[in-house]
Amino acid sequence: MADCENLATCAFFKEYETDEDKKMALQGFVNMYCKGDKQNECVRKKVSKALGGPQNVPVNMMPNGMPLAGTSNADWSDAVKNAIR
Ligand code: SF4
């Protein structure tokens, strides 16, 4: 399967790829979603489509729609929360 077309620019990975503590978890997501067969289930993609572009997806949202461990979804907008339902 081809890589997700967003991988090079995905804000989630850009933000955390240099974070030593989070690298292992990120790699798991890349293998499962961005380079794997779950890429069409990626919630970041779904929210991006629903809200008009990747700039409207919270950076700390994981591909499964949860906030990255150690971060919060408290500042996610209602529009974002509705889009992931
Ligand atoms: S997190 Fe989702 S949108 Fe971002 S590169 Fe991976 S599959 Fe694509």
Sketch the domain layout of the chain as residue ranges.
11-83
Sign of the dihedral defined by the CA atoms of residues 78, 6, 67, 17, in that order? negative
Q: Which of 3, 6, 46 to mutate to test the pocket of ligand 1 (most atoms within 8 A of CB)?
A: 6
> Beta strands of the chain (E only): which ranges?
none
Question: Which residue did the predictor score with more confidence, 44 or 21?
Answer: 44
Q: Is 47 in the pocket of ligand 1 (CB under 6 A)?
A: no
pLDDT in tens, 60-73: 999 999 999 889 99
Q: Is 45 in the pocket of ligand 1 (CB under 6 A)?
A: yes
What is each CA distance from 3 to 11, 40, 48, 57, in whole angstroms? Answer: 16, 11, 17, 20
Rounded to two decimals, the pTM is: 0.92
- Identify how many contiguous H helices and E strands the chain contains and give both numbers: 4, 0
Q: If you measure from the C-alpha of residue 74 to the centroid of ligand 1, how many angstroms do you get, rounded to a whole number?
A: 22
Q: Is 6 in the pocket of ligand 1 (CB under 6 A)?
A: yes
Mean residue pLDDT across the chain: 93
